[in-house]
Amino acid sequence: MGAFSGGNARRGDTTDFLWFLETYFVFVPSVIFVLMPIIKKLECSRCKETVSAETPQTLCPKCKGSFYVRYDLQQLRGVAARDAAIARDSKKTAWPGMWRYGAVLPEVKPVTLGEGWTPMMRSKRHPGAFLKEEGTNPTGSFKARGLALAVTMARHYGLKKLAVPSAGNAAGALAAYAAAADIEANIFMPKDVPFANYVEAIAHGANVTLVDGLISDCGRIVAERSKSEGWFDISTLKEPFRVEGKKTMGYELVEQLGWEYPDAVFYPTGGGVGLIGMWKAFAELEELGWVNPGKRPRMIAVQSAGCAPMAKAFDAGADVSEMWPHAATFASGLRVPKPYGDSIMLEILRESEGVALAIPDAEILVSLLDWAKNEGIFLSPEGAAATAAYDRLLASGYLKPSDRVVLFNTGAGLKYTDVTAEAMGLKRPTAAA
Ligand SMILES: Cc1ncc(COP(=O)(O)O)c(C=O)c1O
Ligand SMILES: [Zn+2]
């Protein structure tokens, strides 16, 4: 693994040495300080303040902005360095998955369940459309990428108790990775999350609290209790490593398209970690010279009309979103009434010449059933929001059928059988005999 050892040290030697140190310190619980791998600094997304990554960080102390992880990428520049780094990192474990990009991730021993390197499938009916099937990740969603890295770093820092407010899938992913790392997971999620999210979190041994409210209420509880309970809060964009894990989607889609950018990326948007992570990946890919020259994709943020703070803010030309009242949608991952990273997302949407769309649940369901019947793919409601948005932008002429687009199915449809059945009005029939 490794972001970059610097100097003349051979990477393998450095890595082994770091793993030895890490192992040693993990077994000495009173020692919090660990030798940090080669992250150059954490940089505030708003005011550019920098801090060291040697100890766990949350938000910028000056302005409460989110931190980005910054490396020195000089020695990795160019296609030859790219191919060598990926070939080397791909050999490290049987299923390297997202860790094939270990050269641009923190140099620590991963907590892995086989996340990443998900299929990029061409649509049967739309020649320009590729479906990025994130439902094949461990825990059935793309949340695995961010939580794999956040838990990896938590173990590295010697943290013992983590807490997260979640719309559902982040909870399941935290529960699984925390179990794999022997870390305590404290989860707060709305009481009406898809049942699979509740079952998986309980099965993995997490402490689960179902809240009569939304993720914003859950976030408030985590913030209020973290200090007294000794929890480290890994809320969306309130620590730097979930974005860093999700940036691998940007590297991966570019590699899977032959190191070329697509024309547009459709991203079902709640808190926006993936959108922000992919944009970071594109900037890094350009700095590294790993992507063929071309225009970055238009970023299309897709929301449900039942909770569309980003679409509303984008349409209004605003710099921040407003709290969405009475948020309700069966695309549970999109039920984020006021994303913490709203201003970063709005900047990205404008810079990419993209757009934010609000799709009614009825239209999401139509697209879900369309893809199930005609493509053989059982989308999550969030993924079906992306496919519905694609249909709209084709119909409006914003996109041409020949434009290359990546549609993110961020979760497996099978995690949502209860909420999708309810949206379909489908009940289990009584047995005939
Ligand atoms: C399946 C699915 N898609 C999309 C999202 C939204 O992700 P983000 O918060 O990164 O915007 C979520 C969040 O829970 C989700 O579970
Ligand atoms: Zn700041």
Can you give the residue ranges of every domain in the chain? 11-104, 120-140+243-422, 143-233
How far is residue 301 from each of residues 50, 85, 155, 237, 308, measured CA to CA in Å?
29, 32, 33, 17, 10
**355 beta partners:** 300
How far apart are the C-alpha atoms of 201 and 172, rounded to whole Å? Answer: 5
Q: Is 237:274 a contact under the CB 8 Å cutoff?
A: no
Residues lining ligand 1, CB < 6 A?
141, 143, 167-170, 236, 268-274, 333, 380, 382, 410-411
What is the mean predicted confidence (pLDDT) over 278-304? Answer: 98
**pLDDT tens-digit series, residues 126-154:** 999 999 999 999 999 999 999 999 999 99
Ligand 1: atom nearest CA of 167 is 14
Ligand 1: centre distance to CA 74 (Å): 33
- In this chain, the answer to whether the domains covering 120-140+243-422 and 143-233 adopt an identical fold is yes
Q: How far does the centroid of ligand 1 lie from the alpha carbon of residue 81, in Å?
A: 33
In percent, the amount of the chain with pLDDT more than 70 equals 91
The arrangement of strands across the sheet holding 50-51 comes to: 50-51, 41-44, 67-70
Ligand 1 atom nearest to CA at 268: 4
Pocket test for ligand 1, best of 133, 139, 141 (most atoms within 8 A of CB): 141
Do residues 380 and 409 touch, judged by C-beta distance below 8 A? yes
pLDDT bucket at 264, cuts 50 / 70 / 90: very high
Helices and strands in the chain, H and E counts: 14, 13
Ligand 1 atom at minimum distance from 381 CA: 1
Q: Which atom of ligand 1 is nearest to the CA of 134?
A: 1
Give the range among 246-255, 359-368, 424-433 with minimum mean pLDDT: 424-433
Rounded mean pLDDT of 46-72?
Answer: 97
Q: How far apart are CA 297 and CA 282, in angstroms?
A: 9
Mean pLDDT along residues 330-354: 98
Angstrom distance (rounded) from CA 198 to CA 216 = 18
- Rounded to the nearest angstrom, the distance between the alpha carbon of 37 and the centre of ligand 1 is 29
**56, two tokens:** 């766990």
In the reported structure, the alpha carbon of residue 67 is separated from the centroid of ligand 2 by a whole-number distance in angstroms of 8
Residue 38 has a pLDDT of 78
Report the distance separating Cα 334 and Cα 329, nearest Å: 8
Please report the DSSP string for 179-192 in residue order.
Answer: HHHT-EEEEEEETT
pLDDT band at 18; cut points 50, 70, 90: very low
pLDDT reading at 35 higher than 80: no
Q: Does residue 382 contact residue 329 with C-beta atoms inside 8 Å?
A: no
Q: According to the model, what pLDDT value does residue 431 have?
A: 84
What's the whole-number mean pLDDT along residues 50-69?
97
Q: Which two tokens stand for residue 256?
A: 């899977």
CA–CA separation, 391 vs 315, rounded Å? 20
The Cα 173–Cα 410 span in angstroms is 13
Between CA 260 and CA 196 the distance in angstroms is 36
> What confidence score (pLDDT) does residue 3 get?
34
Hey, what are 235's tokens? 């809320």
* Measured distance CA(37)–CA(14) in Å, rounded: 9
Is the CATH number of domain 143-233 3.40.50.1100? yes
Which pLDDT belongs to residue 33? 37
Residue (of 162, 166, 140) closest to 153 by Cα position: 162
The protein residue whose alpha carbon is closest to atom 2 in ligand 1 is 333
Average confidence score pLDDT of the chain: 92
pLDDT at residue 244 above 90?
Answer: yes
d(CA 99, CA 113): 11
Q: What is the dotted CATH code of the domain comprising 120-140+243-422?
A: 3.40.50.1100
Q: Which residue's alpha carbon is nearest to atom 5 within ligand 1?
A: 333
For residues 207 and 36, is the Cβ–Cβ distance under 8 A?
no
Residue 283's identity, in one-letter code, is A
Closest by Cα among 73, 15, 67 to 46? 67
Over residues 164-190, the mean pLDDT reads: 98
Q: How many whole angstroms from 51 Cα to the centroid of ligand 2?
A: 10
User: What is the token pair recorded at 20?
Assistant: 């030895």
Q: What is the mean pLDDT of residues 179-191?
A: 98
How many CB atoms neighbour CB 25 within 10 A?
18
Q: Are 399 and 393 in contact (CB under 8 A)?
A: yes
* pLDDT tens digits for range 203-225: 999 999 999 999 999 999 999 99
Token pair 């973290």 is found at 226
pLDDT for res 79:
98
Give the residue, by CA position, lying nearest to ligand 1 atom 7: 270
pLDDT beyond 60 at 387: yes
- Would you say residue 27 has pLDDT above 50? no
**68-90: average pLDDT:** 96
pLDDT at 34 over 50: no
Q: What is the pLDDT of residue 10?
A: 31
Ligand 1 atom showing the smallest separation from residue 271 Cα:
9
Mean pLDDT within 98-103: 97
Query: Where is average pLDDT lowest: 21-30, 58-67, 256-265, 306-315?
Result: 21-30
Q: How far is the CA of 268 from the centre of ligand 1 (A)?
A: 7
Residue 13 scores a pLDDT above 50: no
Average pLDDT over residues 172-195: 98
The separation between the first and the last C-alpha atoms of the chain, rounded to the nearest angstrom, is 58
